[in-house]
Amino acid sequence: MRPRKIGTRGSALALWQARTVAARLHERGTPAEIVVIRTGGDRLQDAPLSELGGKGLFVKELEDALLAGDIDLAVHSAKDMSAMLPDGLTIGAALPREDPRDALVLARGTTVVDFEAALAHIGEMPVIATGSIRRIAQLTAVLPHARFTPIRGNVDTRLRKLDAGEYEALILAAAGLRRLGLETRISAAIPLDVCIPSPGQGIVAVEIRDDDRGTRDVVVPITNPEAAASLAAERAVVTALGGGCQLPLGAIALHVPQGLSLQAVVVWPDGRQAIRRSAVGSIENAAALGTGLADELVAGGAGEILAAVRSGVTP
The residues annotated with a catalytic role in the active site are 79-80, 134-135, 152, 158, 245
Cite the beta strand spans of the chain per DSSP E: 4-8, 32-36, 73-77, 89-94, 102-105, 127-129, 147-149, 169-173, 188-189, 204-209, 249-256, 259-267, 274-281
Cite the beta strand spans of 122-214 per DSSP E: 127-129, 147-149, 169-173, 188-189, 204-209
Other beta carbons less than 10 A from residue 203's beta carbon = 25
CA dihedral 138, 142, 143, 145 (to 10 degrees): 100
Q: How far is CA 312 from the centre of its chain?
A: 23
Do residues 183 and 177 make contact, with C-beta atoms less than 8 angstroms apart?
A: yes
Other beta carbons less than 10 A from residue 237's beta carbon = 29
Do residues 172 and 102 make contact, with C-beta atoms less than 8 angstroms apart?
A: yes
Nearest-angstrom CA–CA distance, 257 and 279: 14
Do residues 13 and 66 make contact, with C-beta atoms less than 8 angstroms apart?
A: no
Which of helix, strand or coil describes residue 121? helix
Q: Give the torsion sign (CA, 54, 60, 62, 67).
A: positive
Cite the DSSP H helix spans in 10-127: 12-27, 40-43, 49-52, 60-68, 115-122
